Structure 1
């Protein structure tokens, strides 16, 4: 069976699958090619006859990560520049007023797509929510700093805003309420959510936000954007600032561009930080949103401190062992001397004290585990905490913080509650191939029931509480109460406070 829905660009024909109505590969903008490369997205050219919306659109052009990371996260279908499409799962296109959840995929702003096993499972639509996943420009296409362009370094962010405008204009035709839109994402997707909270052009397009394992600090400055742009131009043999020449290379040598971008990411991870600057070294990511222009006037945490974030409800959190997956996969090799050096470089003059603080809070941990805890805090927890502090100060009673703590059995149990392990639980998609790669076999369904229900409750009401959890208090910057989600859910006040104080002080934000 199929179903036809009218959109502002033209009618689309989806399919009815297991009681859900699904539309895949709907264009929300024109392909960003020719003069639209490194430019704001333009609305689709209208059509009149129903277009089939039965297959996912191409993923954004991207390199494939090596090994199991690529096996888990890379899309299993073609990529291409005609990538500005979205997908909709709805319980009933004839309904009215259903809550809406727009998912922004992660992948370091370099890889990924709005389609994978977890997403296509359809669990949010089965829970009464109109679910939308989007593709957006990645890597050099999405985040190149173009000198003199007011949108420089934020073409991917503008794509996300264009998709949200499409949702506002069209989602009622799929049963959704344009006044009840929640945005969410994990990793780079969670960071994109943080950026959208601070983006003036995104105001009024959503009323709630979910940021999972985000890294909202530091994002990048125009100076960092210039360093990366000059590096890419040099590697591609293009004169500095020559956008016409760069577009020509992108047109005729797309594989060269993908190769150069991949090499740049690898180089940033392995070279002396002084070559690219402290901002890029802090995240080991040279292509991500740029702060300081029209799209993102200020960093999310700075905007929050000034009371300038979007006036929305916020669910935010991190995983207890985010960074352990990096070491379990052999993506970074370190010895004891390197660990000592990293602690000292992070806390000059206090490296040994900081290492002792982490060790005291984690008895029996290896030194490598202590480094993983440090990098978890640096990359995810500190920025998310500062953003939650700022949001809670200016919008009390509407901030909710979680820590995911269930230890995966995948990778011989070496990764703990690592980065992305919460995703199969959020999407209630245990048993899918992607889920088992992250959780190992036999992950507890009751935990997925509880976490998925919390997300559904928040999307529906702005409050994640339900009868399967202990009472989850709203987060405030004085007590920093966090819901720890694991085999035994519990509320923890200021978890690992001594470690956090190394980064932001005992009284920061309080």
Structure 2
């Protein structure tokens, strides 16, 4: 997979002590204190601005708290990601991580003006990852202010300890709401318009965006949303609070008498890898199963979404997303969980009822990849589109099928087309995303649902937004 071309721009941000303010070291007074960033050739960049107090010690498993500092805080160097295990793909974030991680990055074309704003929530199964160099992307050249957020992950972000002062487990969502409040209060000082904020995310980040569309506390904090390859439930049943507490009890047992609040981050990471949710089978998705916490989500997200205010939405999936783990038993369990009494009908749909797998498709891959992509991404996205469009909101649905080498696409493959310079069929996705962020419509050939747009080697073309027949066999968002 080719690296995104904008990653090389990291060289623009040199480290070192801040000199007195000059045009190259602009300062901004925020509600927390003054920060000093770096003027690059085409943008002003601030990295690692705290939006809440470090969630450590007595602030573990609590809602984010206010922060204040005196003097001028350097905001030049890349900030640590939140604590996480090493899954390989996130090795750099694993090596440079901290519990003191509630920070965000801002890039703006200039500190004056009132530009549209994108607040970006990174993916990683709510287990791992970080915003990386999102604020160095070429999207800023489109006249957009880009904000990238770090939020608590895994056990620290989504576990529900029975002893926590704010129960429920959605601390990562609380962090994202706190970041949106910071944006509301401060972004005008960075050349952004607080009334033109788009909340966007990919994978788990898209799931979190969908949940914040539902969450009452977030309703007034952004105007519209982008959801790439993720929905509030990923096709899984929502987690009742008592089930969440039982997972918290598993953590306490793993720590062998050490109170969770006193355990080391390393001990929490080790214990996280041993937690299990019997309702979903494969625990890679442990923190993707949404908990109805009674705080951020006072009711089922489905009920909250039904009464949420309509907002413009750009939402889509890739033709090939993520595969099943490979064991035939897991495939059977996946079909049973997703389709219940219609599991046999689902097996017939995929041509596996006779026990022999069909040949892989050159664009959508093996049957397991198709099953996973449909059940976890495509069908939940189409159901979300219908729910949201029925509220009267404009919904722009896309299908992405591209890779720089012309091969199969994959999960997160569209990111280098949105934030970088990759093009599919000569089309730059970034132009559509920038138009949506600035106007609420992506423009061009893209028509709102019940039409959608397909991006592939032939370019961009509008088509009817027809769901696969398999999507009629399940009903979770």
Same fold (TM over 0.5): yes
Deviations 1:426-464 (A, max 9, x none): 11244xxxxxxxxxxxx65833x2x10111011001101
Conserved? CA contact 2:140–2:146, under 8 Å? yes
SS at match of 1:281: coil
- 1:139 matched to 2:140? The reply is no
1:59 aligns with 2:39: no
Kept in 2, the 8 Å contact 1:89–1:122? The answer is: no
Structure 2, gaps ≥5 residues long? 1-23
Distance 1:365 1:230, change over 3 A: same
Q: What's the C-alpha RMSD, in Å, of the aligned pairs? A: 2.7
What does 1:113-128 correspond to in 2, within 5 Å? 113-116=130-133, 119-128=134-143
| Distance in 2 between residues matched to 1:222 and 1:46, nearest whole Å | 36
After TM superposition, list the pairs within 5 Å mapping 1:35-184 onto structure 2.
35-47=58-70, 49-66=71-88, 69-70=89-90, 74-75=92-93, 78-94=96-112, 96-116=113-133, 119-147=134-162, 149-184=165-200
- The residue correspondences of 1:84-483 to structure 2 (distance < 5 A) are 84-94=102-112, 96-116=113-133, 119-147=134-162, 149-217=165-233, 218-238=237-257, 245-249=259-263, 253-264=264-275, 268=276, 276-278=277-279, 280-281=280-281, 284-288=284-288, 289-304=290-305, 306=306, 308-324=307-323, 332-335=325-328, 339=331, 342-343=334-335, 346-348=338-340, 350-359=342-351, 364-365=359-360, 369-396=366-393, 398-407=394-403, 409=405, 413=407, 416-430=408-422, 444=424, 446-447=426-427, 449=428, 451-466=429-444, 470=445, 472-475=446-449, 480-483=450-453
The alpha-carbon distance between structure 1 residues 138 and 345, as it changes in their structure 2 partners (threshold 3 A), is: closer
Looking at structure 1, the residues matched to 230 and 142 of structure 2 have their Cα atoms a distance apart, in angstroms, of: 25
Change (3 A) 1:384 1:115: same
Residue 263 (structure 1) shift: 3.5
SS at match of 2:222: coil
CA distance in 1, matches of 2:381, 2:297: 18
Change (3 A) 1:369 1:348: same
**Structure 1 Cα separation of the partners of residues 100 and 193 of structure 2:** 28
After TM superposition, the score normalised by the length of structure 2 is 0.85
Deviations 1:347-383, CA, capped at 9 Å, x for gaps: 45654542332349x9853697222211112212222
- Partner SS, residue 213 of structure 2: helix
Contact 1:319 1:419 in 2 (8 A): yes
Question: CA separation in 2, counterparts of 1:181 and 1:109?
Answer: 23
* Conserved 8 A contact 2:85-2:94: no
Given that residues 97 and 175 in structure 1 are in contact (C-alpha distance below 8 angstroms), is that contact kept between their aligned partners in structure 2?
A: yes
Per-residue deviation, 1:339: 4.7
Counterpart for residue 487 of structure 1: 457
Which stretches in structure 1 are left out of the alignment for 5+ residues? 240-244, 269-275, 327-331, 431-442
3-state DSSP of counterpart to 2:433: helix
Q: Secondary structure at the match of 1:285?
A: helix
Distance in 2 of aligned mates of 1:341 and 1:160: 33
Distance, in Å, in 1 between the alignment partners of 2:335 and 2:346 is: 7
| Alpha-carbon distance in structure 2 between the residues aligned to 1:142 and 1:237 | 21
For the residues of structure 2 that align with 1:462 and 1:140, how far apart are their CA atoms? 36
Distance 1:20 1:285, change over 3 A: same
**C-alpha distance in structure 2 between counterparts of 1:501 and 1:342, whole Å:** 16
How many pairs are equivalent? Answer: 442
Equivalents in 2 of 1:163, 1:301: separation in Å? 24
How far does residue 238 in structure 1 lie from its aligned partner after superposition? 3.5
Q: Residue 499 of structure 1 aligns with which residue? A: 470
TM-score by length of 1: 0.80
TM-fit CA distance, 1:16: 1.0
| Structure 1 or 2: more helix by fraction | 1
State the Cα distance separating 1:151 from its structure 2 match. 4.3
Change over 3 Å in CA distance of 1:183–1:154 after alignment to 2: same
- Partner of 2:315, secondary structure, is strand
Cα 1:77–1:18, aligned 2, differ >3 Å: closer, same or farther? farther
2:161/2:249 contact within 8 Å kept: no
- CA deviation digits over 1:48-76, x for unaligned, max 9? x221110122110100103xx335xx527
Conserved in 1, the CA contact under 8 Å of 2:169 and 2:293?
no
Residue pair 1:315, 1:401 contacting (<8 A) in 2 also? yes
SS at match of 2:292: coil
The offset of 1:126, in angstroms, is 0.9
| Preserved contact between residue 310 and residue 391 of structure 2 (Cα < 8 Å) | no
**What's the CA shift for 1:284?**
4.4
User: Secondary structure of the equivalent of 2:82?
Assistant: coil
Residue deviations 1:300-338 (CA, integer Å, cap 9, x gap): 33323x3x22432111111111124x6xxxxx2335x76
Partner of 1:27: 50
CA separation of 1:193 and 1:219: change in aligned 2, threshold 3 A:
farther
